[in-house]
């Protein structure tokens, strides 16, 4: 017998987001675009409210049997809460910077924030929220598709802009392919184990894997690798990132990454936790390949959004390294990395959104940011911190994220992999310092002169403070939260 009262209590954030999404959808449908701003503000409040709801559970740490909701369909443990909190924060950040972009010339022919934009972000976030607390393949797929469908529309939200439409189409075709692969893997697992919930699939996978089970495992992992854009399933990322409107790109680079990584980790440990050796090599390969290709691919790029797309592939490699370690320390390191990665990506994209001409057009190539240190010193210094942080140079917090991942890797005895990955990170440093070189060493191009709103400045300042050495003061509490989350994840193992 399912206890609905406690189940509903566990999924309060999702209920709030669902209600907010449906109501705001009606408001947007009847009120039209003139209500876009109130809709956006309400969406941010709903996300904030949902975020607040995760705090008690995060603080006290929840794991074990009490966290299951609706039978075994969902599992709202510390791990899910940590991911949710991060997703909500990222979504809030991306909503805050959106109006300035859509109301400027950068939005092209369709100037003005559309009321469905915040609603779509809300639904995408709801999908992610369900993804990270999924404990059954049906819930997983439900959440994944809710997120993906909203994301496809978001990518092509500038209907008149060819690049945006192209990005949406590419994202849709490749995303649908990935969903198909994932669904096929899920059906194989169902067929060979007789269940769709994680616990019974896990029980069915005990002992030697049959060929069908192995195929199921590999298809599921491949489908998820598509979603997190790990090499060799990364090809769509640069095109989608470049084509999508910049606030949407900022969204794609942060919240869905967190959700997809968290989902992958949950599937890897809760479903395939008894067969670690079967997937560890695959994930390790994907991790190292992502680090190397993410770094090499970025070297020739002129477009900053494309470059940050490769940078995200590179970072996913380090995150997967934490997953491949397959230890609680590795999972905790992965979550810490995700937090810092979200701060760095959000900061970088906000800085890109601030590089605009007087009439609001955005700049997104290296040539445009030349000599930014002279013309816009504050943005240039923040970008300098962000880039050195992404490159993992101490004393910035980006170093700490690599620090925890490599520490977990070495402690697990995977010294050779750590050495390869860390040597490859030097290749990545090359293009991050190119950013600094262009901004600080080159003659000013002097084109990015447009003013930015207070919201951008505040977000940029917050992310810059987080990734500065001051951010190290956050690490004790961050480690505490991540350890609790990792412990919850490993309850099943």
Distance CA 124, CA 147 (A): 4
Binding window for other proteins (CB under 8 A); candidates: 82-90, 235-243, 292-300, 397-405: 397-405
Tell me: does residue 461 bind other proteins (CB under 8 A): no
Residue 194, classified by CB atoms within 10 Å of its CB into exposed (0-12), middle (13-18) or buried (19+), is exposed
Task: CB nearer to other proteins: give 276 or 412.
Answer: 412
Query: Which residue's CB is nearer to other proteins, number 283 or number 421?
Result: 421
Residue 191 CA to residue 124 CA, distance in Å, equals 30
Q: Closest CB to other proteins among 64 and 395?
A: 395
List the one residue out of 455, 306, 353 whose CA is nearest residue 101: 353
Binding flag, residue 403, other proteins (CB under 8 A): yes
Does residue number 437 form part of the binding site for other proteins (CB under 8 A)? yes
Burial of 14 per CB tally in 10 Å (0-12, 13-18, 19+): buried
Q: With binding defined as CB under 8 A, does residue 109 bind other proteins?
A: no
3-state secondary structure of 325: coil
Indicate which single residue of 478, 485, 486, 488 sits in contact with other proteins (rule: CB under 8 A).
478
Question: Counting contacts by CB under 8 A, is residue 446 touching other proteins?
Answer: no
Helix (H, G, I), strand (E, B) or coil at 69: strand
Output the DSSP codes for 234-297.
-THHHHHHHHS-HHHHHHHHHHHHHHHHHHHHHIIIIISGGGHHHHHHHHHHHHHHHHHHHHHH
Residue 416, Cβ density class (10 Å: 0-12 exposed, 13-18 middle, ≥19 buried): exposed
Share in percent of the chain as helix, strand, coil (round to 5): 80, 0, 20
Q: How far is the CB of 348 from other proteins (least distance, A)?
A: 17
Residue 262 Cβ, how far from other proteins at the closest point, in Å?
Answer: 21
Let me know if 473 is exposed, middle or buried by CB neighbors in 10 A (0-12, 13-18, 19+): exposed
**407 lines the binding site for other proteins (CB under 8 A):** yes
**C-beta of 65: minimal distance to other proteins in Å?**
29
| 479 interacts with other proteins by CB under 8 A | yes
Could you count the other beta carbons within 10 Å of the beta carbon of residue 91?
A: 30
Q: CB of 266 within 8 A of CB of 489?
A: yes
- Of these, 52, 111, 159, 441, which contacts other proteins (CB under 8 A)? 441
Q: How far is the CB of 476 from other proteins (least distance, A)?
A: 5
User: Is 214 one of the binding residues for other proteins (CB under 8 A)?
Assistant: no
* Residue 430 touches other proteins, criterion: CB under 8 A: yes
Rg over alpha carbons for the chain, rounded to the nearest Å, is 21
* 367 binds other proteins per the rule CB under 8 A: no
Distance of closest approach, residue 388 Cβ to other proteins, in angstroms: 6
Report if residue 27 touches other proteins, rule: CB under 8 A.
no
Does position 411 interact with other proteins (CB under 8 A)? The reply is: yes
Residues 6+ apart with CB under 8 A from 390: 311, 315, 344, 348, 398, 428, 432
Among residues 180 and 446, whose Cβ is nearest to other proteins?
A: 446
> Which CB atom, from 123 or from 339, has the smaller least distance to other proteins?
339
Comparison of 282 and 436: residue with beta carbon closer to other proteins:
436
- The contact set with other proteins (CB under 8 A) reads 373-374, 381, 388, 393-395, 399-400, 403-404, 406-407, 409-411, 415, 418-419, 422-423, 425-426, 429-430, 433, 436-437, 440-441, 472-473, 475-476, 478-480
């Amino acid at each position: 017998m399912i206890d609905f009262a406690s189940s509903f209590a566990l999924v309060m954030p999702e209920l709030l987001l669902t209600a907010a999404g449906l109501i705001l959808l009606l408001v947007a449908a009847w009120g039209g675009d003139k209500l876009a701003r109130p809709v956006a503000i309400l969406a941010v409040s709903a996300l904030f409210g949902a975020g607040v709801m995760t705090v008690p559970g995060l603080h006290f740490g929840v794991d074990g049997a009490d966290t299951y909701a609706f039978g075994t369909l969902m599992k709202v443990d510390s791990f899910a809460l940590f991911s949710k909190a991060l997703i909500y924060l990222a979504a809030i950040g991306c909503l805050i910077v959106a109006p300035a972009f859509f109301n400027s010339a950068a939005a092209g022919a369709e100037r003005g924030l559309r009321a469905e934009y915040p609603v779509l972000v809300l639904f995408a976030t709801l999908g992610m929220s369900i993804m990270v607390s999924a404990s059954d393949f049906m819930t997983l797929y439900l959440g994944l598709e809710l997120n993906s469908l909203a994301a496809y529309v978001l990518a092509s939200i500038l209907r008149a802009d060819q690049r945006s439409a192209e990005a949406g189409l590419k994202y849709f075709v490749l995303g649908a392919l990935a969903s198909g692969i994932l669904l096929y893997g899920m059906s194989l697992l169902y067929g060979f184990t007789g269940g769709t919930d994680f616990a019974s699939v896990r029980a069915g996978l005990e002992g030697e894997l049959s060929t069908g089970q192995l195929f199921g495992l590999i298809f599921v992992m491949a489908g998820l690798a598509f979603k997190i854009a790990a090499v060799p399933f990364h090809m769509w990322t640069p095109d989608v990132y470049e084509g999508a409107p910049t606030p949407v790109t900022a969204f794609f680079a942060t919240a869905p990454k967190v959700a997809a990584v968290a989902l992958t980790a949950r599937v890897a440990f809760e479903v395939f936790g008894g067969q670690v050796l079967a997937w560890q090599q695959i994930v390790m390969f994907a991790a190292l390949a992502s680090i190397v290709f993410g770094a090499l691919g970025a070297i020739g790029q002129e477009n900053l959004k494309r470059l940050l797309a490769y940078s995200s592939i590179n970072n996913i490699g380090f995150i997967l390294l934490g997953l491949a370690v397959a230890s609680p320390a590795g999972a905790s390191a992965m979550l810490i990395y995700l937090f810092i990665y979200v701060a760095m990506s959000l900061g970088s994209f906000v800085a890109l959104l601030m590089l605009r001409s007087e009439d609001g057009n955005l700049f997104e190539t290296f040539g445009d940011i030349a000599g930014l240190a002279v013309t816009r010193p504050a943005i240039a210094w923040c970008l300098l911190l962000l880039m050195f942080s992404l490159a993992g140079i101490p004393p910035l917090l980006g170093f700490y994220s690599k620090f925890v991942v490599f520490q977990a890797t070495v402690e697990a005895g995977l010294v050779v992999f750590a050495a390869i990955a860390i040597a490859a990170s030097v290749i990545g440093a090359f293009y991050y310092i190119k950013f600094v070189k262009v901004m600080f060493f080159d003659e000013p191009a002097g084109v990015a002169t447009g003013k930015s709103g207070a919201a951008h400045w505040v977000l940029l300042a917050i992310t810059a403070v987080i990734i500065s050495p001051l951010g190290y003061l956050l690490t004790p509490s961050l480690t505490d939260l991540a350890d609790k989350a990792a412990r919850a994840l490993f309850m099943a193992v």
